[in-house]
Structure 1
Amino acid sequence: MSGARWGAGFSAVGRFVAEIEAATKGGPLKPGYVLAGDELFLQERCRAAVIKAYVPPDFKDFCLSDFDLGSTPVFDILDRAQTPSLMAPFQVIFVRNVRNLYTRGAKKDEFAALGRYFQSPNPQALLVFVADFIRIPSDVRRMDMDDKSKYERLTETLGEHCGMVELARVHEDDAMRWVTATSNEAGNRMDPDAARELVDALGADMMMIAGELEKLLLYTLGRGRITLGDVETMVLGAKQRSLYELTDAISARNKVKAIALLHGLLNSSDAGEDAAIGHLYMLARTFRQMLVILEKNVRDQRAIWQALWQGFRIPPFAADDLIRQARRYKSRRDLTRALRLIARADLELRSSPPDKRLVLERLVYDLASEPKPVSPWSAAQLSFSEQ
């Protein structure tokens, strides 16, 4: 991995990890760092590196703290950082929900307190701010103007005192490179077409890719090779192709086939009905993709890659099918109705119903049914509420 040319996100993490490791051997360590970006996979790598370097397992309860600015004032967090621990020689403090420092209303007192602390920080404490309210694309030149404004504000404030670590979204090529390198390190060489299929199928979602790769490594343990067939069996078989078959039946209003396909999905899952939340997440994601396709009038595969951003894309084998399915819906209202039904089912599932399968069956039946006609007055009210 060291000889490869990595994209912005992996490179930033590599520099951060190297600095943390060097500091344990006497190198310089900043009193604080800002993990800027919503790439959870890279966040976890940074967190793991800090904990490995500064949090001995036997002292974890004494030297590792996690605070949320939504529930804990920054003054209390700084007080903890300034106060030496009686039980551990070093303190690591992760601070989440940093967005709260940049919401409406002046935070002069908060930033003044931060400035005073960093003028004379505790050398036996490390503050790590998790700024996951910013999205940094793999090509930083394409950063949204709103995110760019937030990032500039972040660098002008916390960035004056802390090291900035830009956690850009992982590009598909980097995801493939990571999959290949990780497989090789585990002693299981992954075929290039298998790596490409895995990344394409999961839309370069690194947390999902890491989880599925772990399953693949266990599935092929001792064989020394991961093939395209292994990926199709373990990742695509029930999780992707069957899902698009289900949404195809739903969009065609074929209730009988849709219910049968749902049963197939549940029966093929190792977790059975306990996988209901996961299936619901994939349904919601697919219907959101169809909403974008319909709104942007996507008609072919070339246009779909422009309409769906990285991390929200679909596997190539499903592109034409999903375009066809989306065009079966006549209006945005039909798809937002579907998303409301899914949201209601999600709420019901999280309330621990006696039968999760029944909740999903009712959802699929409703999704595959024609919407009930609404009166002109109700339609006008609905249109007003959606504006």
Structure 2
Amino acid sequence: MQMPPVRSFASSDRFLAEIASPALRPGYVLAGDELFLYERCRRGVLQTLVPDNLRDFCLHDLDLAETSIFEALDQAQTPSLMAPFQVFFFRNLKVLYTRGAKKDEFAAIDAYFRSPNPQALLIFVADHLRLPADLRKMDMQDKDRFERIRETLGDLCGVVELARVDEQDAVRWVTATCDEQNTKCDPDAARELVDALGADMMLVASELEKLLLYVSAPREQAGVEHAEARITLGDVETLVLAAKQRSLYELTDAISLHDRAAALGLLHGLLNASDGGEDSAIGHLYMLARTFRQMLIIAEKNVRDSRAIWQVLWQGFRMPPFAADDLIRQARRYKSRRELSRALRLIARADLELRNSPPDKRLVLERLVLELATEPRANVHGVETSQFALEI
């Protein structure tokens, strides 16, 4: 079954169609840092133009930060004695747009394309650009850089836009890929996979591969080895770490809103989706403690923009990019540092209780979530207390 057209893949689809037709141009610019689409284009070039037995002779990866454009063009102009056709990937194109006008370099490029080697294909990789799914929302700096590339190379080469993949298109790709593998993917599972990974297509493709292997494994013990393979929301929440994290941030969101019913429901969802059931309680508690520590730092540093998070949270203690804005919003719901410190004390107490082998770990977590989601009240001495505080 052939995958239906996906709008976000349109530019790369046209490129792949051209390289397999007489319309092949002598050069192209792959503009954008969407690695998934870049790998898709590169793979198509190798399959179409680079025979496996001649790869060492006809494929050249050159870094313009290490090889001058004059030397690179000279290699491209020289026919190979060992291969009938050559493909050149020129990385670090940004070198041509820094430190000076580079008039001689662009004059050499112009001269090459006036009389190109018909047995060579040149591909310039402009992965220093970030192209959003909606090009109208492109950063001004990237927009200026893209315009300079169009002005200097646009008339000489085909320009292939490797923009970020739209979330809806990513979901369609997941569903279509599963169909190709004779596997059904539930719509809510496809949506959760894409949302949890922030529509990062390299991650989506990697996690989908694991899911496909997981659901298509033999199920002889269950007696359903011939049943249609199917990816469900539960499979995504079980196997994809980011989906678990996403559910956790939904839990802390309900807690910060003091929505006890929603928080309790989300906790049950986390526990039911966990591999270890009740035994995963310590892991959930650790993630809660980590998230509230992150919120405490965000509140103390008065962080209001996701870009500032990377300055106040150190490497190894940062949340996934998709959760940054949510966590800032949640932290700002707490009126003082004292409220967040109280939450950490409650978590520490629950941790101690869990490590003392209580009869029901789920009950410990339920009580903790109810306490966290209950707005603290001040007693007659002005000290914060909680409706669900344990009797000590």
Q: Which amino acid counterpart does residue 324 of structure 1 have in structure 2? A: Q
| Of 153, 159, 175, the match for 1:164 | 159
Secondary structure of the 2:240 match is helix
Q: Over the residues paired in the alignment, what is the CA RMSD in angstroms?
A: 3.4
Partner of 1:200: 195
Q: How many angstroms does 1:99 deviate by?
A: 0.5
Q: How many angstroms does 1:328 deviate by?
A: 7.2
Higher helix share: 1
Question: Per-residue CA shift, 1:10-65, capped at 9, x if unaligned?
Answer: 1101111111122xxxx121100000111111111110111111100111111001
Partner of 1:6: 6
Question: Per-residue CA shift, 1:196-241, capped at 9, x if unaligned?
Answer: 0000100000000000000000001154211111111110378625
Structure 1: how far apart are the matches of 2:188 and 2:11?
Answer: 28
Partner of 1:294: 303
- Distance verdict in 2 for CA 1:326–1:40, change over 3 Å: farther
Question: Per-residue CA shift, 1:353-383, capped at 9, x if unaligned?
Answer: xxxxxxxxxxxxxxxxxxxxxxxxxxxxxxx
Q: Which amino acid counterpart does residue 330 of structure 2 have in structure 1? A: R
Q: Which amino acid counterpart does residue 329 of structure 2 have in structure 1? A: I
Q: How many angstroms does 1:321 deviate by?
A: 5.5
Larger Rg over CA atoms: 2
Secondary structure of the 1:79 match is helix
Partner of 2:24: 29
Secondary structure of the 2:99 match is coil
Partner of 1:341: none
Q: Which amino acid counterpart does residue 220 of structure 1 have in structure 2? A: V
Q: Which amino acid counterpart does residue 67 of structure 1 have in structure 2? A: L
Structure 2: how far apart are the matches of 1:95 and 1:64?
Answer: 11
Structure 2: how far apart are the matches of 1:105 and 1:330?
Answer: 52
Judge conservation of contact 1:244–1:322 (CA < 8 Å) in 2.
no
| Of 68, 71, 76, the match for 2:71 | 76
Structure 2: how far apart are the matches of 1:203 and 1:149?
Answer: 26
Question: Per-residue CA shift, 1:253-302, capped at 9, x if unaligned?
Answer: xxxxxxxxxxxxxx99xxxxxxxxxxxxxx9xx99xx699932499xxxx
- Count of aligned pairs: 275
1:134-145 aligned within 5 A: 134-145=129-140
Question: Per-residue CA shift, 1:177-197, capped at 9, x if unaligned?
Answer: 000000110111100000000
- Are 2:160 and 1:154 aligned? no
Judge conservation of contact 2:237–2:244 (CA < 8 Å) in 1.
no
Question: Please, what TM-score do these two structures have when normalized by structure 2?
Answer: 0.63
Structure 1: how far apart are the matches of 2:80 and 2:334?
Answer: 63
Structure 1: how far apart are the matches of 2:2 and 2:302?
Answer: 39
- Distance verdict in 2 for CA 1:214–1:329, change over 3 Å: farther
| Of 91, 105, 123, the match for 1:110 | 105
- Are 2:43 and 1:48 aligned? yes
Structure 1: how far apart are the matches of 2:48 and 2:335?
Answer: 54
Show structure 1 runs of 4+ deviating over 3 A. Answer: 1-5, 236-239, 241-245, 290-293, 318-323, 325-331
1:1-387 aligned within 5 A: 4=4, 6-7=6-7, 9-22=8-21, 27-221=22-216, 223-236=228-241, 240=245, 294-296=303-305, 312-314=321-323, 323-325=329-331
- Distance verdict in 2 for CA 1:82–1:41, change over 3 Å: same
| Identical counterparts, % of pairs | 59
Secondary structure of the 1:34 match is strand
Q: How many angstroms does 1:147 deviate by?
A: 1.3
> Tell me, which stretches of 5 or more residues in structure 1 are unaligned?
249-266, 269-282, 299-310, 332-387
Structure 1: how far apart are the matches of 2:52 and 2:302?
Answer: 49
Structure 2: how far apart are the matches of 1:203 and 1:74?
Answer: 37
Question: Please, what TM-score do these two structures have when normalized by structure 1?
Answer: 0.64
Q: Which amino acid counterpart does residue 230 of structure 1 have in structure 2? A: D
> Tell me, which stretches of 5 or more residues in structure 2 are unaligned?
218-227, 254-274, 277-290, 308-319, 338-392
Structure 2: how far apart are the matches of 1:211 and 1:100?
Answer: 32
Secondary structure of the 1:165 match is strand
Secondary structure of the 1:53 match is helix
